[in-house]
Structure 1
């Protein structure tokens, strides 16, 4: 099968545990781009936490942010946007007002707002992404994603409560300490589906790389789904292929085999 586009999760997939693209992986991706194959990041991250890697890889393509809730072109112009409904946002904020010890974060377009700028989880996220949160205003209306960070046990209890109250929303943990909330229409698979029309490719012609549960629908959708070696077993079972982990050039190994460089 000839593949015509590559979509990749960022954390735990494109990046190693030091939040870097390894030299071999960077070289493999650039070689694919040089062959005219689009390489598009698909991440839960906000836009400005993705752009440094776009620049590093020298790709001119769009990027999928907030796990599919927002797609921006290379000039950061919105191509596609799915917001949390106003009523849901209001009710979520009412419940979350009782959890001020947790780091509660609202992502809206290019902006990151937090309830507590000195919360250790907020500070850690700032270190990971290289971004600085702003204090959340009371009148925030257009929100793509809410992220709550904190102790895994507290997050698990909050997840159960919110899922009971909002069965129509997408609520899941991207890791045990990170709980994400979005409109159910915002998924990585639907965002990729939108990009198919932009790129003139089909699902069968797409390779997708992922490592965690928020990559599940994308891996189920793509023609060639690749789980990283560091993925949970449930993700590996869904993927068509399992590669090495994110510290051992897992992406590079697949790209080098699928797109050999012909001298």
Structure 2
């Protein structure tokens, strides 16, 4: 795929556009502002909730398309809701009725709040201003199980793998799932995926995946990485993702401004103004 044919830039947030402080560096902002001036279509696709993600992308200084909750929501650059798909409440209830290790933090993404089984300081650190507030609840007493996404986190990856297998035993045809990080397991409706949502945007704007370059670091990025004309894996991505997508190039890490560095070196008219390190 010729880099000269790239018209669309698509990026994940955590572990990709964001550094380990969960912020976008000034250098990355400057490169993306130049992309915007050069009329590239820019799409941010994240597992985060839209309220949380909007607070972050506002710091870019210009409007972008936003895909959130791994594809369950699409917002236009004008922040208009273009697409919305929720999980089936009865299916969510049946998952939460399983014998889930109490050490695992369980989260339901709702429209204006995320309901969690316990306060998790590591999870709270992903938000700088808590634009999307947490609410500690007892799921055994919950009445409304409609949700955008179910999220589980634990420092022990194997505990999450075991939970994934338990849930899929009876929900294989209902949910899709992904490890956005080794410590983060996410379940969505079967029809939801970042790549599906991105396709809707590309069709609306008259582009194809072949004209897109994508950046990601998690298994929830897999389909968008493999669908694009150029798919690039972050240096900080899990080794098993790099091995699975061994045909894709691995670039610098998120803490090295890997996305912006690659773009400045490889996209015409961007690098002339924004030189940094080799990606």
Structure 2 counterpart SS, 1:146: strand
Partner SS state of residue 128, structure 1: coil
Per the alignment, residue 219 of structure 2 pairs with: 213
Residue deviations 1:158-216 (CA, integer Å, cap 9, x gap): 12211222212112322232111111211011011111122221111111100121111
CA contact (8 A) 2:177 2:188 kept: yes
Aligned to 2:263: 255
Q: TM-score, with normalisation over the residues of structure 1?
A: 0.89
The answer on 1:164 being equivalent to 2:169 is yes
Mean CA deviation greater in 56-65 or 184-193: 56-65
Shift of 1:35: 0.9
CA drift at 1:229: 1.4
Task: Give the alignment partner of residue 79 of structure 1, picking from 74, 79, 82.
Answer: 82
Partner of 2:52: 49
> Which residue pairs with 1:8 in the alignment?
11
- TM-score, with normalisation over the residues of structure 2? 0.84
Question: Which of 181, 187, 194 is the aligned partner of 2:187?
Answer: 181
Does residue 150 (structure 1) correspond to residue 151 (structure 2)? The answer is no
Give the count of matched residue pairs: 258
For residue 234 of structure 1, report the CA deviation from its aligned partner.
Answer: 4.3
Q: Secondary structure at the match of 2:22?
A: coil
1:90 alignment partner in structure 2: 93
Root-mean-square deviation (CA, aligned residues, Å) is 2.1
Aligned in 2, Cα 1:103/1:236: closer, same or farther, shift over 3 Å? closer
Of 25, 34, 40 in structure 2, the residue corresponding to residue 37 of structure 1 is: 40
Counterpart selection for 1:25 from 14, 19, 28: 28
Say whether the 8 Å CA contact 1:162–1:171 is kept in structure 2: no
Q: For residues 95-106 of structure 1, what are the structure 2 equivalents within 5 Å?
A: 95=98, 98-106=100-108
Q: Is the 8 A contact 1:71 1:191 kept in 2?
A: yes
**Unmatched tracts of structure 2, length 5 or more:** 274-279
Name the CA distance, whole Å, in 1 between partners of 2:230 and 2:62.
21
Structure 1 gaps of 5+ residues are none
Please say if residues 243 and 253 of structure 1, whose CA atoms lie closer than 8 Å, have aligned partners that are also in contact.
no
